[in-house]
């Protein structure tokens, strides 16, 4: 029997590709003091895709429909398709988390990150192209 190959740490990278059924990304938020909360993503909804978060360090809050869910290390939440949602780091400490998403959501996020025009009209059109909508 040969020794197993040791996988590289996921930190800052994505496990999967745009051809995968789902991807896992390890991301982080630096934290700070925010009142009102500084949303990591705007309130939005995916019509055909579920999305999930799993916290490794720190705290995240996820608005899942009408409910705010606080996630601490070792806890997670799934937001089902058709449910408006957003998320934020509620405190001053950094948060490190896994985002589990479909390739369509990943492609949307990639396009958001490289967009130079982030006007409301442009963002609404971008979300629509990926079967999602801003709320």
- Beta-bridge partner residues of 55: 97
**Would the pLDDT of 99 be above 80?**
yes
* pLDDT at residue 115 in the model: 95
Residues 16-28 have pLDDT tens digits of: 887 888 999 999 9
Structural domains in the chain?
Answer: 14-134 (2.60.120.10)
From CA 90, how far away is CA 10, in angstroms rounded?
24
CA-CA distance, 5 to 29, in Å (whole number)? 30
**CB-based burial of residue 53 (10 Å sphere; 0-12 exposed, 13-18 middle, 19+ buried)?**
buried
pTM equals 0.89
CA distance linking residue 76 with residue 24, whole number of Å: 13
pLDDT band at 36 (very low <50, low <70, confident <90, very high): confident
């Amino acid at each position: 029997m040969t020794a197993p190959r040791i996988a590289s740490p996921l930190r800052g990278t994505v496990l999967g590709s745009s051809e995968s059924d789902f991807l896992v990304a390890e991301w982080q938020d630096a934290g700070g003091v925010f009142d009102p909360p500084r949303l990591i993503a705007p309130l939005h909804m995916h019509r055909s895709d579920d999305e999930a978060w799993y916290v490794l360090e720190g705290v995240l809050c996820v608005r899942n429909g009408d409910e705010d869910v606080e996630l601490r290390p070792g806890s997670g939440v799934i937001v089902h398709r058709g449910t408006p949602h957003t998320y934020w780091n509620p405190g001053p400490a950094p948060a490190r988390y896994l985002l589990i998403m479909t390739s369509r959501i990943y492609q949307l996020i990639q396009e958001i990150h490289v967009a130079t025009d982030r006007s409301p009209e442009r963002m609404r059109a971008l979300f629509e192209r990926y079967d999602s909508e801003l709320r």
